[in-house]
Structure 1
Amino acid sequence: MKKTVQWILLSLIVSSIFLTACNSMTNEENTTSKEDMTNHQNSKQGVTADESNNGDSQDSTLDQDGPDAMEDIRIKLTFNNEEVIVNMDDNPTSKDFLSLLPLTLTFEDYAGTEKISYPSNKLSTEEAPSGIDPAVGDFTYYAPWGNLAIYYKDFGYSNGLIKLGEIESGIEKLENLNGNFTVTIEKVD
């Protein structure tokens, strides 16, 4: 009987040690995975780990601190001898998009509500809401499909939609376009 109790206690101790080791390895993997994700995002944006941690980035336009960090960041959409100006929102997805500029993309109409295009790179969805209810003139990113969308009609709430910015004026220039059209997107100085 005494040997049986000792055997059970020994089995419990070994099992406890094994489970503790497994849990420790899982925590290390999670920490490493988060660090790898941060390093990947920083390398995608051209930021070293040291710059990421201390805020000494070279592009002050995108990395300013404070509530007005991206208040004055605007982009210009040029197509068919027309220009539309977009005020960009301050969020990680918008910043990731700005890092890709300048871009030339082909847009097409989708559902008589929005103009869409597929940039070659997927954008960050860090800190993104689960979705939004876009307004006419919203410049957005639909994460599930990886496409940009400019709304020229009311649509309703959409899961996975992230607002990048808002058109100042000229949404009617996009609304009246039929078929595919090429747009050059660049930052406004």
Structure 2
Amino acid sequence: MFEIPSMTEQGPVTILFIMAIPKSDLDVFKGMKNGEEFTCKMSDAVQRFFPHVYKRMDMEKFKLCDENGYPAITSVIRKPYLMVHDKLVVGCGDSVFLNDPITGQGCNLSSFCAEQLYETLIEWKHSKWDGEMGESYWKRTKQYVKEITEWTNAMTGPLPEHVVQLLMQGAQDQDKANEIAQWFADPTTAFEAFFSRMNV
């Protein structure tokens, strides 16, 4: 769980951001019908799994500042195009590539895919926009999407030992720390750090 201080229209709040492995004991937020139900589930989850945080909570004030502010997101990767009544429909970003937010790659992925869609449309500007064009767009984005997704998924579980060692080195070595920080700006470097070095 991350505690994220934030400012809203109602004033300062703390966002409780929980990441749960699907179907684990902490995966309790599916099917919420209203803010009150969510508040009860969140209170129970924090009390059970994060008692040190629960001790600091004022339960008389604990509630949502926005009754619609309780999304539960399940990561999913979809093919970014389909044909509907002979019309091509394409998607970018979270509409088709919904990654776990732990690596903060939503904007990187969306902007990359938007750029690749633009390049595809320019390439196909004198051709029929059909499933073949959609497949061309998918081929342009697939490798990048795969690498970001695999890195993100790896970050939600126990880290590989060589990555733990890299992080420990980063605590002592500024150059190594800069290299690790670069993972978030260029996630292909994170994929390489997590997986290419494992195969050496």
Q: Which entry has the higher C-alpha Rg, 1 or 2?
A: 1
Higher strand share: 1
Higher RCO, 1 vs 2 (CA within 8 Å, ≥6 residues apart): 1
- The two structures share one fold, judged by TM-score above 0.5: no
TM-score (structure 2 length as normaliser): 0.23
TM-score (structure 1 length as normaliser): 0.24
Higher helix share: 2
